[in-house]
Amino acid sequence: MRSTVKTSYYVATAIATLAVLLPATMAHAQTTANAPPPSSQFGVDEIVVTAQRREQRLQDVPISITAFTSEDLRRTGTQDITRLAQNTPGFTFGRSGLEARPAIRGVRTENVAGNGDPTIGFYVDDIYQSRAAQAGQPFVDVQRVEVLRGPQGTLFGRNVFGGAVSVVGALPGAEFDFGGNVIVGNYSRVAASGYVSIPLSSNFGIRIAGTRETRDGYVKNIVVKDNDLYSQDTKFIRATALWTPTDSLEIIVRGSYWSEGGTGGQAFGYKPQGGFVDPNASQSAFDTRGGRDLNGILVPNLNFFSATSGQRDGIPDFQGRDLGVSVDPDPYTWQGQLRSFADLEQKAVSAQIKWSNDAIFVRSITGYQDFSYVANAGEVAGPTAAESRQIRGSDATSQEFQIGGSETKPLQWIVGLYYLNDKVFDEFGSFRTNINDGIAGSRGPFTAKVESKAVYGQASYYVVPQLRLTGGIRYTEDDKDFDVTNFRIVAGVDVVNNSFKLAGKFKKTTWRAGADFFATPDNMVYASVSTGFRSGGFNGGAGTNPLIPATFAPETVTAYEIGSKNRFADGRYQFNISLYRNDFKDLQVQNQFLVGATTLSAIRNAGEAYSQGLEAELVARPVPELTLNATATLMKTKYTEYITGAPPNYPAAPNGISLAGKEIPFSPRSKFTFAARYDIDLGNAGVLTPSANAIVSSSFFNTDFNTELDRQKAYAKFDARLGWRSKDDRYGVDVFVENIGDVAVKNRGVFGSQGLNASYETPRFYGVQVTFRR
């Protein structure tokens, strides 16, 4: 039966894709793929991307990619990864505290600790960022941002299990140039950014860009004054030097500094959503432990303080029992008494050297990053009995060598070597103040040393001018050393509880095979099969509970895709569509284990799952003044094999809980986005441009358990902007409103001692932006 379903899916995929391509094929069957693209006076802008580690026209790359130019980012108010989902099919973004949790096609970022690797690769100027929080760095003076959907295991490696986000910074130009913008908005937001590009000679120039932003918190604390969550204090600066001593040689050196301060956002979510209670528990049980003995039932509409808080208001909340003091229902308030903070810092340098002639190119990419952050969390409702602190750091060096053939030849090829040395530090500590003996609690620092080596190659060959075949392969070998010590803190003194060391080697060969047919230079259909994997790792909590597995295995994916990329009517309409299926095995999933009164998070491998769907993108410029964008996503996900333990406050299951049939979190079955802008020519007074964006999403879940507590209901969000540009395009003013309806979208949920805690996307933001350029 399962085989029949999959076969039917692939047949439907082929029919749908060919239906899109057939009219163009019949009309232009004699046109070769090497002909120049048609010209248009006001067509959709062409974008050049590097998704296959070389410069190519977006429409010639047989991969599902959404690319944003610097102008696209400005027009949509996209200043970091958080807003990419507004215009990207198949992409969902979540966050907890400083941790970025993107999801693509059923692959979501869950484990953000140092014992694992991100599932969505994040690259800045071809340098891999190994920690999830690094994906939060601002987009400052960037040339473009590319979102690659689906595993990219051949050319990028183990760290792109679900896809990749690649940020490409602007380079120094041949002429002196400068520009910037200032934003003033609600929540006392003040942001200023700018760049200057200085040519020091005919073949050497520098470019310096930076930003500074401050903002008050938008999650109001109604218990402790001036303790609102998600306040912001961002500093970022980058210097780029470009030297071209000959026509064949190019050298680029970059250095950057980035810091984030403010109150943070609570590592596990700031808003209690309810929990599971025992309907037969006595009032005394609720007074001492909330009546939550894991044998209860779901109470999704009652949100109360922690069972340990001891606060009761005398109101019979549930079957005549007083469950506690109610939590304020506003998703943008919190009631914890902990003084929240976050502090992040990153220093990075990189160098790229490229030599090329008409036949080949040779490239070296070197990167170094020193990254660290600390944030705290506590009870999100009620008096603070304990404080948890998360300290993470990464000291990463990477080196990559590439050699490849020219893009203009019938045979295009690239081979490469990759090396990563990453020293990761991760500590989670829970501290409790005791009147008698001072500070008590526990902490579990560990180090993870990762040495990853890979060799890869990919080649494409035009069998005939219209048919291109592609094959690629990559071999990856990860050596990981894990060293952990668990401490008990007694009267402020560390007492070793246990310590252990683990080491392992994880090897994998990934590959890609595909075929592309060009009916015309602007109409292509492609089909591909590719694989990807995420490396295995170790659990630091294994020394505290024998139920926690010491090791988790790699997870793998086989991805099938058929798609079509098209430009019509002299480039005024661009339409791309793809249908895909991802088959996952041994998914690494986050589990909660109860150790005494504390819940510990650990990774284990689920069985099997799949995601399949359709994605479409349309860009249209029917007349010079009007630009329309639309995307559509239809997706189905399901776990087919998955046995796990119960989370805190969830009905107990001695033999484990089967989650087969559940949906993968952060995977809405449908998502649509729309955008439109219209330029009104005011003559010498400039150009006035009203624009609007919308996103409409079906419901989705935030945890593997798919409960009503973690469900995000279907929603629609709208943005609006009114911009003015001077006639010479040197000055501009934009008035904007993001999330006009102030819609609260739950984008992170995790079970803990207070039931399920959640985080939400940003509320309504509005303001004025002033831009200038030379």
Residue with tokens 């040779």: 362
| pLDDT category of residue 300 using cuts at 50, 70 and 90 | very low
Residue scoring higher pLDDT (656 or 479): 479
Q: What share of the chain is helix, strand, coil (3-state, %, to 5)?
A: 10, 55, 35
Q: How far apart are CA 155 and CA 415, in angstroms?
A: 9
CB 617, CB 576: distance < 8 Å: yes
Residue 14 has pLDDT above 70, yes or no: no
Residue 349 has pLDDT above 80, yes or no: yes
Show the CA angle centred on residue 646, arms to residues 274 and 286, nearest 5°.
45
Stretch among 332-336, 652-656, 687-691 having the lowest mean pLDDT: 652-656
Q: In 3-state terms, what secondary structure has residue 102?
A: strand
Looking at residue 95, its pLDDT comes to 87
CB 45, CB 39: distance < 8 Å: no
**Number of residues that this document lists for the chain:** 774
Looking at residue 440, its pLDDT comes to 72
| Side-chain-facing half-sphere of 704: CA atoms under 13 Å | 28
- DSSP string computed for 416-456: EEEEEEEEEEEEEEEEEEETTTEEEEEE--EEEEEEEEEEE
Looking at residue 279, its pLDDT comes to 65
Stretch among 6-15, 398-407, 458-467 having the lowest mean pLDDT: 6-15
Stretch among 104-113, 344-353, 429-438 having the lowest mean pLDDT: 429-438
Residue range 155-166: average pLDDT?
92
> Token pair of 417, please?
């070597």
Looking at residue 112, its amino acid is V
Q: What does the buried/exposed string (b/e) look like for 603-639 if buried means 16 or more CB atoms within 10 Å of the residue's CB?
A: bbbbbebbbbbbbbbbbbbeeeeebbbbbbbbbbbbb
* Torsion 306-541-129-700 (CA) sign: negative
Looking at residue 620, its pLDDT comes to 97
Q: What percent of the chain has a predicted confidence (pLDDT) above 70?
A: 85
- Strands 297-299 and 333-336, bridge-based pairing: unpaired
Q: How far apart are CA 53 and CA 732, in angstroms?
A: 35
Stretch among 36-40, 58-62, 176-180, 256-260 having the lowest mean pLDDT: 36-40
Looking at residue 328, its pLDDT comes to 82
Looking at residue 384, its pLDDT comes to 63
Homologous superfamily of the 2-279+293-773 domain (CATH): TonB-dependent receptor, beta-barrel domain (2.40.170.20)
Residue scoring higher pLDDT (707 or 32): 707
Residue 425 has pLDDT above 60, yes or no: yes
Residue 513 has pLDDT above 50, yes or no: yes
Q: How far apart are CA 173 and CA 170, in angstroms?
A: 9
Residue 15 has pLDDT above 80, yes or no: no
Looking at residue 487, its pLDDT comes to 83
Residue 164 has pLDDT above 60, yes or no: yes
- What integer best gives the mean pLDDT of the chain? 86
Q: In 3-state terms, what secondary structure has residue 180?
A: strand
Residue 458 has pLDDT above 90, yes or no: yes
Q: How far apart are CA 59 and CA 123, in angstroms?
A: 22
Per residue in 245-271, pLDDT (tens digit) is 999 999 999 999 999 999 988 878 888
Looking at residue 116, its pLDDT comes to 84
Residue range 17-37: average pLDDT?
39
Per residue in 681-732, pLDDT (tens digit) is 999 999 999 999 999 999 999 998 888 888 999 999 999 999 999 999 999 9
- Rg (the chain; Cα; Å): 27
Stretch among 82-96, 187-201, 581-595 having the lowest mean pLDDT: 581-595
Looking at residue 609, its pLDDT comes to 95
Per residue in 634-653, pLDDT (tens digit) is 999 999 998 887 766 566 66
Q: What percent of the chain has a predicted confidence (pLDDT) above 90?
A: 63
* Full-model pTM: 0.89
Q: How far apart are CA 576 and CA 584, in angstroms?
A: 25
Residue 38 has pLDDT above 80, yes or no: no
Looking at residue 755, its pLDDT comes to 74
Residue 491 has pLDDT above 90, yes or no: no
If one counts every other C-beta atom within 10 angstroms of the C-beta of residue 501, the result is 12
| pLDDT category of residue 205 using cuts at 50, 70 and 90 | very high
Q: Which residues contact 648 (CB under 8 A, 6 or more apart)?
A: 292, 294, 592, 594, 599, 751, 752, 753, 755
Stretch among 18-22, 125-129, 610-614 having the lowest mean pLDDT: 18-22
Looking at residue 188, its pLDDT comes to 97
Q: In 3-state terms, what secondary structure has residue 655?
A: coil
Residue 40 has pLDDT above 60, yes or no: no
Stretch among 28-37, 147-156, 284-293, 704-713 having the lowest mean pLDDT: 28-37
Residue 758 has pLDDT above 60, yes or no: yes
Closest CA to 536 of 110, 117, 109, 114: 117
